[in-house]
Structures are given as structure tokens and as C-alpha cells.
Structure 1
């Protein structure tokens, strides 16, 4: 429980911003199963409440990501692609890029140069 509280403290309301028709999500330093549920819940609330067409994940702060991070991205892709939306990633370092390639995320998520 303590680990989950720590993970939720890493993510603030300001880490979710709607800019035009895009939901920008600034991900925390560590993305693991402790914080994944909270990130998904917050992101999904924005997808339902706002007129969001695309999702942009900002990995600028992220230094660690396990399979739950892959789940976060894939889950939002499934939800947004039903409506013709797209998913993008920015500030992807070599480690995260490697995870994208190994998991196949690079086939459904466009990684933008920063």
C-alpha cells in the first residue's frame, strides 16, 4: 500500500493536460504496477470528459518502465484508436525505445523526435 501511495504522489494533476484535441501525459520517473492503475484511471477520465482525439505520452522523466507501462500505452491506444485517434510518444530515451521495439509498441505508437 505504501508503494502505491508513493507512486500516486509521483503523478500530479498537472501531469495531464489537454491541448487542442490532444491529451498530454507526463509520465513519472518509474512506471510499474504500483502506479499504472492510477495513471490509467486519470487518463481514461480525460478521454471520457474532454474532446480528445490523440494521446501524447511524454517519457522525459521516465528512467524505468516495466510491462505495466506497456499496458498503459496499449490500453490508451485501444480506447483512442476506436475513434480514429492516434498515440504518440515524445522524449523517448534509448532504454524506453528498446522496450517499444521489443514489445511491438513502435508499430502502433509514433515516436516523435524531441
Structure 2
């Protein structure tokens, strides 16, 4: 599991790769919080293109990011969602809360 951050001018892309499960979700959220606190983004995109597996812990990761960026008055999108992760996120109804891009 890895989290990389790119962007400038308060636009940030967090790319998550590997497995997003109970064991890795805490680390992902800590790194995500650290990056958000450092850059204070107005726009955050979570890029899930490198995610190989996601369980319900991924829902918590996305909701945490959504809440943190919302606290800053910003917007968030989730992009490049793999099929397996998409099933988990759709089952939770996250598309009613968070914007998803392909």
C-alpha cells in the first residue's frame, strides 16, 4: 500500500495503490491527513487506479477525505476506480455523497 501526493495551487491529487483493507486504512488516513493539513487543498482528487483490493475500510478512507476537504470549504472527487473497489463503494451508496469520475 502506498500513498503519493502531487499538485499545486491548492489542487491536490492523492494516488492510492495496493490493498485498502483494515491493516492499511489507518496508514492511508494518517498520510492523507498529513498532506491535507500541509497543503490545505481547495480541490482534492483521490486516484484509485493502483488499488488492487478494497474492503469496507476504503469507505472510511473516502469519507474521511471528503469530510476533511469539506472542513476547508473544498471539493473532492474520486477517480479511476477499479471494478472490485467500485462494487464496494457503490454498495455503500457513496456515489450519492461523493463525485466519481472515470
Count of paired positions: 102
**Comparing both chains, which one has the higher relative contact order based on Cα–Cα distances under 8 Å and sequence gaps of 6 or more?**
2
- Unaligned 5+ segments in structure 1 are 1-9
Q: Which 4+ runs in 1 deviate beyond 3 A? A: none
TM-score by length of 2: 0.86
Identify the structure with the greater strand proportion: 2
CA contact (8 A) 1:18 1:52 kept: no
The Cα RMSD (Å) is 1.6
CA contact (8 A) 2:41 2:72 kept: no
Identify the structure with the greater helix proportion: 1
- Unaligned 5+ segments in structure 2 are none
| 1:28-43 correspondence runs (5 A) | 28-43=17-32
Please state if 1:69 is matched with 2:55. Answer: no
SS of the counterpart of 1:87? strand
What does the per-residue CA deviation read over 1:20-68, in whole Å, with 9 as the maximum and x for residues that have no partner? 3222111122101111111111111121121311221111111210111
Bigger Rg, which one: 1
